[in-house]
């Protein structure tokens, strides 16, 4: 009877009480080391489900199965990747559906390439997970709950303090839509910051060109406030005057001022010239 419970349609008090009862029943103590903060806001769950398409879906970090229960009212099949072995057992028992499979693994190392991904993203793997999602071309869309600061970084403009190599990678590959903002009280235990729901829709395949972009931005953004031509010369032995018209575009600009298109063009040029060698094979 447990799987008749839909966390998206109950009251906040009912969801909190249900969460606490599951934690007590299975003797679960949230582990800060694993960024375990369980959703207790039905509106947040409802928004995530509303933007989820009826597809085979992978969920990263199912916890005690709260979001999983709601997702199964919408998706065809749900595969959850959960690093905590105890929570794998709890979620399997709580959800109890033939359309639900839990894999005990670290999503940074093992991530099924289904078309859609959903996650209340654990803080400590946020950057690594976003890069992993970017590299798996089979993942066409993702509905993610991120720390608000991370969400703003992904939407930052060139020239701003928040703009960085993760911004560039994600924006080259995805259209990003920002949705609702949720306070710390939307989770148990309460984190220190607010969160935002974001939606990724893939617009470009990860390729050798994008891999080269990753290599380039790794070099450039370690010296983000220096002039691009100086970083290219010191890190890669490239003279800006040898880059033709592209050199005119980037000359005199600091690294954090370059837009995604210019960085992608520069990365591809350096790849074609053999300056950048890409070891990450596109999926």
Domains with residue ranges and CATH for the chain: 2-202 (3.40.50.150), 208-272 (1.10.8.100)
214-260 pLDDT tens trace = 999 999 999 999 999 999 999 999 999 999 999 999 999 999 999 99
Please determine, for residue 4, whether its predicted confidence score (pLDDT) is greater than 90: no
- At residue 2 the predicted structure's pLDDT band, cuts being 50, 70 and 90, is very low
Please determine, for residue 150, whether its predicted confidence score (pLDDT) is greater than 60: yes
267-276 pLDDT tens trace = 999 999 999 9
β-strand pairing of 77-82 with 100-104: parallel
162-211 pLDDT tens trace = 999 999 999 999 999 999 999 999 999 999 999 999 999 999 999 999 99
Structure tokens at 274: 């053999």
Burial profile 6-44: b = 16 or more Cβ within 10 angstroms, e = fewer: bbbeeeeeebbebbeebbeeeebebeeebbbbbbbbbeb
Q: What is the pLDDT of residue 1?
A: 37
Please determine, for residue 131, whether its predicted confidence score (pLDDT) is greater than 50: yes
Q: Is pTM, for the whole model, over 0.75?
A: yes
Please determine, for residue 107, whether its predicted confidence score (pLDDT) is greater than 50: yes
Write out the DSSP string of 117-174: EEEE--GGGHHHHHHHHHH-TT--EEEEEEEHHHHHHHTPPTTSTT--HHHHHHHHHE
39-96 pLDDT tens trace = 999 999 999 999 999 999 999 999 999 999 999 999 999 999 999 999 999 999 999 9
Q: How far apart are CA 50 and CA 205, in angstroms?
A: 26
């Amino acid at each position: 009877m447990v799987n008749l419970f839909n966390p998206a349609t109950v009251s906040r008090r009912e969801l909190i009480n249900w969460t606490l009862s599951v934690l007590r029943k299975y003797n679960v103590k949230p582990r800060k080391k694993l960024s375990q903060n369980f959703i207790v806001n039905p509106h947040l769950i409802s928004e995530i489900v509303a933007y989820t398409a009826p597809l085979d879906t992978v969920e990263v970090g199912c916890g005690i199965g709260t979001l999983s229960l709601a997702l199964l009212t919408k998706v065809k099949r749900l595969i959850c990747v959960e690093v905590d072995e105890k929570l794998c057992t709890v979620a399997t028992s709580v959800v109890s559906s033939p359309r639900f499979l839990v894999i005990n693994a670290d999503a940074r190392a093992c991530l099924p390439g289904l078309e859609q991904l959903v996650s209340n993203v654990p803080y400590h793997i946020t950057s690594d997970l976003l890069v992993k999602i970017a590299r798996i071309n089979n993942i066409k869309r993702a509905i993610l709950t991120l720390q608000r600061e991370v969400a703003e970084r992904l939407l930052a403009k060139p020239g701003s303090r928040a703009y960085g190599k993760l911004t560039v990678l994600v924006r080259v590959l995805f259209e990003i839509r920002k949705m609702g903002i949720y306070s710390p009280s939307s989770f148990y235990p309460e984190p220190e910051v607010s969160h935002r729901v974001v939606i990724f829709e893939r617009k470009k395949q990860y390729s050798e060109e994008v891999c080269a972009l990753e290599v380039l931005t790794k070099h450039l953004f370690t010296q983000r406030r220096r002039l691009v031509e100086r970083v290219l010369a010191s890190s890669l032995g490239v003279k800006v005057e040898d880059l033709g018209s592209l050199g005119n575009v980037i000359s005199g600009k600091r690294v954090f001022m370059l837009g995604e298109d210019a960085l992608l063009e520069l990365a591809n040029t350096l790849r074609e010239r053999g300056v950048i060698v890409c070891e990450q094979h596109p999926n």
